[in-house]
Structure 1
Amino acid sequence: MSQHFLLSAAARTISLKAVLSLTDADAWKLFQRLRWPDTDGAPVCPCCGNGRCYDVTRGATPRFRCAACRKDFSPTSGTLFAYHKLSIRDYLAAIVLFVNAVKGISALQLGRDMDISYKAAWVLCHKLREAMASEMKGASVGGSGETVEVDGCYVGGHVRPANYKANRKDRRLAQHQTGKRKVVVAIRERGGRTVAAVFPTEEASADFIKARVEKGTTVHTDEAHSWEPLRTKFRIRQINHSFAYSHDDACTNQAESFFSRLRRAEWGQYHQISDLYLGRYAAEMGWREDHRRQPNGVLFSRLVGQAGRSPMSIDFTGRWQKRAA
């Protein structure tokens, strides 16, 4: 039997040891190359986009001045790492730990590994999830001749049953639920990318699915009536799970694979996911599932570059200083 890719040496192209051995200058050069790949690390002004900048560094952090707008900036200016408190080497090391955790890493564990507070680790993890989600922001999947699988997974709102059987209530009824239960709807193209979003019910996702799946796509779903509105735009193939998980090439197994990763992250790493941030965790697991067969060095470069090109976080920049929007 052939060796699984993740067990091979080709899957290991970067390590925590290698990042921590970098000097501050080398760490900054690495970040600059990943943030500005088109210029091989040469600075580009984040305000006006001019490439004519010169070095005005006075300390350990590189500083540049734009020849056009005359504004000073650093490599992290205008990015998710703006106003950073940690060294850039610590951020790169944290990203290595983050991408190496195939089912996610909790903020508590990351804080212990990096010797930083839980608050700092929690914000950093959410910023990295924001960078992951930006890859599929506004993107569509499918197209003529393509196949897309659609399915839903209900998360959260657990109601603990009473101790004595006589006191237990039917948790399927709406009046006995917490109202926090949400459904993560996954739209996964076979051999392509995953789009995930959170809705109160599966029925509420129909318009979103129609907007994010291209015309001419064959959509595979399960037997739920929630997907009937999709017939007005797509050719639908359904699989009845009470009969089989896959039959005559009709299945939702790749969507179920995504949900398996989400469930294992919820139960084994995070233990509880707030409905407020459920969409961010779903986007993270979609990113991990889409890039699961790539070396960790590629994942590292992709995430660092995406974080370097993403604007400052509205939700998490200055969160603990009460400056977040």
Structure 2
Amino acid sequence: MLPEFKTIYDLVKRFPDERSCHQYLASRRWNGYMTCPHEGCEGDECYVFKDGIRYKCKSCNRIYTARTGTVFESSKIPLARWFIAIYLIMHKRGISSVQLAKDIGVTQKTAWFVLHRLRSVLANEPAEQLSGVVEIDETFVGGKSRFRHKDKRVKYNPGRGWIDKTPVLGMLQRGGKVKASVIPNVLMLTIQKQMLIHVRGGSDVMGDGFNGYRALNKHYELQCCDHGKGIYGIGEVHTNGIENFWSHFKRHIGGTHIKVSRKHLDKYVQESVFRYNYRNLGIQEQFETIVSNMGCRLKYKDLIA
């Protein structure tokens, strides 16, 4: 357990050099039971180099560090700067790559890659289903057509007006967590498929009367308040919780990043989901949760593919 810290000053004081960062990462990753991270080797004994950072496996004779097999692998950025980036991404509205580049002294391109690596960690959550009372709603991400250059405006935008926007489906368990993901469309079968993945059958589902929810009656106890008729709540039947999440999400996108591409939108969605689900934890507990989930790696060529 780390000595308690609440500010970035406390964090920098706790990790003054690379050795302290590596030793902390090793303790969170292996918890005293070190195993070789190289593929095909499960050796649990190693030699420790004098620098206290590198290890040599007694089984395969390969050298590794606490970075090996994590998002930090092959990065030339010192761990101390990575830890500051983790602290900054936990801010209420997140942080842009331009601002992070200034804060930790790297290029904007490097900061952008650092943030996407961290978002891949934030999305690395257990696949548990929501249950009980679950609110469902969808939102659409994208600027208004009338504010665009005339060459990019949509001439005719019928129905719910999402033809030039990206739909995102959200599900929130009252008193629990939220799940959200980018979906290709808001058709009935698309919504049903996502619900069956993320929400346990038989749960009480609250919606806003959208026709795309009709098929959910087969698997859930569906109750709706028709927003189109000006009805926003009937007793416990409302979608206030998920709409509150959307308000946080849109401030994160519109206020911090201004604009995000469709290709990477789901990564920003998962960042907002993590921040919302762990909002009641202290800054140190959030930091430790993120560091403990570092067992995944995102390569730049995969990110831009």
Alpha carbons of 1:297 and 1:205: their partners in 2 closer, same or farther (altered >3 Å)?
A: same
- SS of match in other structure, 1:260: helix
Of 31, 38, 52 in structure 1, the residue corresponding to residue 45 of structure 2 is 52
Q: Alignment partner for residue 20 of structure 2, among 4, 11, 26?
A: 26
**How does the TM-score come out when normalised to structure 1?**
0.82
What's the CA shift string for 1:181-204, capped at 9, x where partnerless?
111101111122222111132222
Q: Partner of 2:95 in structure 1?
A: 105
SS of the residue 2:146 aligns to = coil
Question: Is 1:96 aligned to residue 87 of structure 2?
Answer: yes
Quick one: which of 155, 170, 173 aligns to 2:158?
A: 173
Does residue 258 of structure 1 match 2:245? Answer: yes
Alignment of 1:1-325 (within 5 A): 13-21=5-13, 22-37=16-31, 39=32, 43-47=34-38, 48-57=41-50, 62-99=53-90, 101-136=91-126, 138-142=127-131, 146-156=132-142, 158-161=144-147, 172-173=157-158, 180-203=164-187, 204-241=190-227, 242-307=229-294, 309=295, 311-313=296-298, 317-319=299-301
The Cα offsets for residues 79-103 of structure 1, whole Å up to 9 and x where unpaired, read as 111101111111111111111x112
Deviation readout 1:190-231 (Å, 9 max, x if unpaired): 122222111132222221211221122111111110111111
Change in 2 beyond 3 A, CA 1:324/1:201: closer
Q: Which amino acid aligns with 1:205?
A: I
Q: Return the TM-score normalized by structure 2.
A: 0.87
Quickly say closer, same or farther: Cα 1:178–1:247, change in 2 above 3 A.
closer
**Do the aligned partners of 1:19 and 1:89 also contact (CA within 8 Å) in 2?**
no
Residue pair 1:159, 1:178 contacting (<8 A) in 2 also: no
8 A contact 1:52–1:66 mirrored in 2 = yes
Give the AA of the match of 1:135: E
**SS at 2:293 equivalent:** helix
For 2:303 and 2:174, locate their aligned partners in 1 and report how far apart those are by CA, in whole Å.
42
Cα distance between partner residues in 2 of 1:323 and 1:294? 30
Deviation at 1:13, TM superposition (A): 3.6
Against the structure 1 CA distance between its residues 179 and 237, is the aligned structure 2 distance closer, same or farther, given a 3 Å change threshold? closer
Distance in 1 (alpha carbons) for counterparts of 2:147 and 2:249: 24
Higher RCO, Cα 8 Å, sep 6+: 1
> Secondary structure at the residue paired with 1:266?
helix
Contact 2:171 2:242 in 1 (8 A): yes
SS in 2 for 1:130: helix
SS in 1 for 2:136: strand
Q: CA deviation at 1:237?
A: 1.1
Equivalent residue letter for 2:230: F
How much has 1:67 moved relative to structure 2? Answer: 2.2
Structure 1 residue 157 displacement after superposition? 5.5
Among all aligned residue pairs of Structure 1 and Structure 2, give the percentage whose two residues are the same amino acid: 24
Aligned to 1:7: none
Query: Size of the alignment, in residue pairs?
Result: 292
Q: Is the 8 A contact 1:156 1:274 kept in 2?
A: no
Q: Where do 5+ consecutive residues of structure 1 fail to align?
A: 1-11
Task: Please tell me the root mean square deviation across aligned C-alpha atoms, in Å.
Answer: 2.6
Distance 1:276 1:323, change over 3 A: closer
Alignment-mate amino acid for residue 214 of structure 1:
R
Report the CA distance between 1:23 and its aligned residue: 2.6
Q: CA deviation at 1:178?
A: 9.4
